[in-house]
Chain A
Amino acid sequence: MEMREKILMFIEKNSRVDVKELSIILGVDEAAVLNEMAAMEEEHVICGYHTLIDWAKTGIEKVNALIEVRVTPQRGRGFDSVAERIYNYAEVNAVYLISGGYDLLVSIEGKTLHEVAQFVSDKLSTLDSVLSTKTNFILKKYKDHGTVIAEKKRDERMLVTP
């Protein structure tokens, strides 16, 4: 595996790792890791270092929805320009171009059900190229970013075994 791939595989699961530690674990030079990471940030291969939060446990209200959007693609620019008009809204977490029954999958976050609904009806549906929307509210997150959220696993092994 290339060093780049090794770094990415590791920090995708744990972006808080200290560079020194990472270089030990990967068995490469610390400066090399630093350079590679800086290069990848520059190239926007590494787009950010986020934290996976289970907001449901905090008591802070958050409502997430996945909106299936059908749109008319634009001549010359396909879906890109309408996607851009959508992703520029701060409420929008993610936008994916999708194959199948609809075109764009838009992930939205709001404080209340009402706020999300209002965003869809006021902002999203009224865009010229949007033909239709279908709103799916997320009721519970089980797993996100490859991590099971529901419960933290306990180590059930016996403490000492041969």
Chain B
Amino acid sequence: MRNPLSQRITEIEPSGIRKFFDIVSEMKDAISLGVGEPDFDTPWHIREEGIYSLEKGRTFYTSNAGLKELKVEIADYLLRRYQLKYDYNHEIIITVGGSEAIDIAMRAMLDPGDEVLIPQPSYVSYEPCAVLANGVPVIIELKEEHEFRLTAEELEKAITPKSKLLVLPYPNNPTGAVMEKKDLEAVAEVVQKYDLYVISDEIYSELTYLENHVSIASLPGMWERTIVINGFSKSHAMTGWRLGYACGPRVILEQMLKIHQFAIMCAPTTSQYAAVDALQNGDKDVAQMREEYDGRRKYLMYRFAQMGLRCFEPYGAFYVFPCIKEFGLSSDQFAERLLAEEKVAVVPGTAFGRSGEGFLRISYAYSLENLKVALGRLERFIDRLRKEKQ
């Protein structure tokens, strides 16, 4: 029999998270700090709107690009929150989560051999999506000393004549890093100098704790070269609804829409109706959740300081990314031992790229009570490691 598989797909490595997930699942009553989604339920008024749309029998396809009401709300939201101007009619597509938007943006913009600049540590899907879109991923290894922000120098060093696209994943999963306006301005200059395009994944944009998030698309000369990706999963605790969106110049969006219409048709109708309510009446919920995350974040930083665990202060998303190099274990070894000995699951930094070696991703999408118990165990564990080393 012939080999049923495409060579390209078999060459893609399965996600490093998957491997760890299998180990954790075997472990009974482990406390997990490994989750990449909010611990809050979707606010009830949003769920209720979804239920209502079902009761009303709104169970049909929407137009490919999405419900007009929702696109209008998104255009209004992006303007009010981030000073981003998009025409709801041609410059916004509703997608099945931010993930789909990443995929179709790359497929619409890449020709074989085009290089995609991907800063890491970062979310697991950029690299495989680039490969699936015939692109060539070029990894930029971010540094702790820059608080895992992308610098203009790092970017410029990675650029070749084949570079076409830069993925800008901020606020960042897994590091919690943010890019402030001055950081973005420096990067934008390089992007324009080398005539690059940007996919700016801003799915955590509502979760920043220093200042309001700034989108690179709002900087002069950047709108026309940026696809902004955002969604409802993190801001409104709506991961399971699978709803995101992409915004950008019509010339790119038109081609993305073709892929979307043939591969997906449209995003889930129920989710789209619920999301209209999320944007109309959800600002208060978003603010409340942000406040709660921020309290946990401060608590974690304080406890790390007490334990003497090195960690730069992250100002975004709901992750902290402490450094474990002092213990002489790899991220994988550390995470596996922590799980085996103290039943606490964290994700090794290497699951998000090689430059994550020596770090752990700890999620604070957990109640404070939960975090306290887990941190107590972590503290006991590192005390033991330090004694072992003596």
Chain A positions within 8 Å of B, measured between CB atoms, are: 10, 21, 24-27, 155, 157-162
B194: Cβ under 8 A from any A Cβ: no
Checking B25, B30, B39, B124 against A162 with a beta-carbon cut-off of 8 angstroms, the contacting residue is B124
| Minimal beta-carbon separation of B184 from chain A (angstroms) | 25
CA distance A108 to B283 in the complex (A): 39
| Chain B residues proximal to chain A, CB less than 8 Å | 15, 17, 20-21, 24-25, 30, 32, 34-37, 39, 123-125, 173, 295-296, 298-299, 302, 345, 347, 351, 368
Q: Which of B37, B296, B298, B368 contacts A161 (CB 8 A)?
A: B37
Contact A162 B24 (CB under 8 A): no
Q: Which of A24, A25, A27, A160 contacts B17 (CB 8 A)?
A: A160
CB-based contact B298/A162 at 8 Å: no
| Set A24, A26, A155: member contacting B39, Cβ < 8 A | A155
The answer to whether B34 touches A161 (Cβ under 8 A) is: yes
Q: Total contacts A to B, CB within 8 angstroms?
A: 49
Bound: A68/B32 CA distance, A:
49
15 pairs, CB–CB < 8 Å, chain A vs chain B: A10-B295, A24-B299, A25-B299, A27-B298, A157-B39, A159-B34, A160-B24, A160-B32, A160-B34, A160-B345, A160-B347, A161-B17, A161-B34, A161-B35, A162-B173
Whole-angstrom distance from the CB of A131 to the nearest CB of chain B?
39
A25: chain B residues within 8 A (beta carbon): 295-296, 298-299, 368
Taking the closest CB of chain B, its distance from the CB of A20, in whole angstroms, is: 9
Q: Which residues of B contact A21 (CB under 8 A)?
A: 299
Known contacts A24-B299, A24-B302; decide if A159 and B25 are in contact (CB<8 Å). yes
Extra contacts besides A25-B299, A160-B345 (19): CB < 8 Å: A10-B295, A21-B299, A24-B302, A25-B296, A26-B295, A27-B298, A155-B39, A158-B35, A159-B21, A159-B30, A159-B35, A160-B17, A160-B21, A160-B24, A160-B35, A161-B37, A162-B17, A162-B123, A162-B125
A62 to B351, CA, bound (A): 54
The reply to whether A158 and B21 contact each other, CB–CB distance below 8 Å, is yes
A15 to chain B, nearest CB (A): 14
A157 in contact with B24 (CB, 8 Å): no
Question: Given the complex of chains A and B, what is the CA–CA distance between A47 and B298 in angstroms?
Answer: 29
Q: How far is the CB of A143 from chain B (nearest CB, A)?
A: 12
On chain B, the residues within 8 Å of A10 by CB distance are 295
Q: Which of A24, A159, A160 contacts B298 (CB 8 A)?
A: A24
Closest residue of chain A to B22 (Cβ to Cβ) is: A160
Residues in chain A near residue B36, CB distance under 8 A: 161-162
CB distance from B47 to the nearest CB of A (A): 14
From residue A148, how far is it (CB to closest CB) to chain B in Å?
11
CB of B32 within 8 A of CB of A162, answer no
- In the complex, what residue of chain A is closest to B300 when comparing beta carbons? A24
The smallest beta-carbon distance between A32 and chain B, in angstroms, is 15
Q: How far is the CA of A27 from the CA of B173 in the complex (A)?
A: 24
Q: Do B351 and A162 have beta carbons less than 8 Å apart?
A: yes
Closest Cβ neighbor of B297 among chain A residues: A25
- Minimum CB–CB distance from A62 to chain B (whole Å) comes to 27
Q: For B39, list chain A residues within 8 Å (CB).
A: 155, 157
A18 to chain B, nearest CB (A): 10
- Kindly provide the distance from the CB of B304 to the nearest chain A CB, expressed in whole angstroms: 12
Kindly state the separation between the CA atoms of A159 and B39 in the bound complex, as whole angstroms. 12
Q: Which residues of A contact B173 (CB under 8 A)?
A: 162
CA distance A155 to B351 in the complex (A): 24
Measured CB to CB, the nearest residue on chain A to B17 is A162
CA distance A24 to B368 in the complex (A): 12
Residues of B within 8 A of A155 (CB): 39
Query: Inside 8 A of A162's CB, which chain B residues have their CB?
Result: 15, 17, 36, 123-125, 173, 351
The distance in angstroms between the C-alpha atoms of A160 and B36, with both chains bound, is 7
Question: How far is the CB of A26 from the nearest CB of chain B, in Å?
Answer: 7
- B15 — which chain A residues lie within 8 A by C-beta? 162
Q: Could you tell me the distance between the alpha carbons of A134 and B374 in the complex, rounded to whole angstroms?
A: 51
Q: Which residue of chain B has its CB nearest to the CB of A153?
A: B41
What separation, in Å, do the CA atoms of A160 and B124 have in the docked complex? 13
Within the assembled complex, what's the spacing in Å between the Cα atoms of A158 and B18? 11
